[in-house]
A = this chain, B = another copy of it.
């Protein structure tokens, strides 16, 4: 096991009716910017619950944060905060709203161009406090210190991190997800699944507890994921999916072990170029990464097949392939199209992605840095 530092100070209020906790969590004299997305919170009762709990505190609304939140939009919010001297951010939405709000929090007092956070790893030295009301289980952003931002003018999608942007608290009420369209529920399941595998399907690192923690999340997502698509919203099912997504990316399972993240890096390019949902890109790219990197990941792919998919029969290669194929089937059971051609994306796009990754310096992806541009081409070609 490698050395690590684990720190996660976000307070989670989980369950029915917990939005009321805003009343005690928000400072009485907070001057709040409430950020949200496309306005679904106006239709599903979340807005009313938030307003009731916020009471007569000073609150300014900032809606319209997109999926894959845009730098351009967020900088407008930064201006509002600066002009109106607001001092607390309340993100009400899914991972994009939370990610975007973290960017705003860190940008407000930063002197340069905050895009530096994403391209040069700059960490601003202060950030406004953030509270979250989560309405979509997927990214884990509600309990971590990172985010992913898209700069439209460059068609560039980049991650940033800063310990100062851990939310002070996050409210996770599974009932807020009842009104989601199935596509978004499915996106969340795939996102959490691939977050987990990025920290697990690498090489053995003498970390058997972290392995079992990751396998527990994967098995749970498979079991509960299929139920989520079968039925009308069930509270316990949505609660388990929500908590699983948080656990998949709150840092815990990734402590002391190698990380991959190539599926994400390649997927980000597909979103930036073609506007595909983040999770859809993961479902496309993941089987390709596993097949092309099979030798390097052999030991963990066998463990994954055995423990997560309970595959006991067949040669090593057969078991590995069956584990990958069952995962692809699982994604497809969530109504994901996992082939590029199903999204009308062809080999010209593959060449473009490869050259974009090269130009951004991402020539050595994966847990060993062996996913070169040639390998990316092979991976995406497998997914045509």
Contact: B18 with A14, CB < 8 Å? Answer: no
Cβ < 8 Å to B, chain A residues 1-37: 1-18
Is A219 interfacial (CB 8 A cutoff)?
yes
Q: Measured between alpha carbons, how far is A223 from B212 in the docked complex, in Å? A: 12
Q: Measured between alpha carbons, how far is A3 from B16 in the docked complex, in Å? A: 7
Cβ < 8 Å to B, chain A residues 338-380: none
A207 contact set on B, CB distance < 8 A:
236, 240
Q: Measured between alpha carbons, how far is A25 from B357 in the docked complex, in Å? A: 39
Contact: A243 with B9, CB < 8 Å? Answer: no
Cβ < 8 Å to B, chain A residues 231-246: 236, 239-240, 243-244
Is A39 interfacial (CB 8 A cutoff)?
no
Residue A14 contacts which of B3, B217, B247 (CB distance < 8 angstroms)?
B3
The size class of the interface chain A forms with chain B is 35 or more
Is A220 interfacial (CB 8 A cutoff)?
yes
A2 contact set on B, CB distance < 8 A:
15
Closest Cβ of chain B to A220, distance in Å, is 5
Contact: A220 with B224, CB < 8 Å? Answer: no
Is A213 interfacial (CB 8 A cutoff)?
yes
Cβ < 8 Å to B, chain A residues 94-116: none
Least CB separation from A247: chain B residue:
B209
Is A311 interfacial (CB 8 A cutoff)?
no
12 A-B residue contacts at CB 8 Å? A1-B15, A1-B236, A3-B17, A3-B18, A6-B12, A8-B9, A208-B240, A209-B220, A212-B216, A212-B219, A213-B247, A243-B255
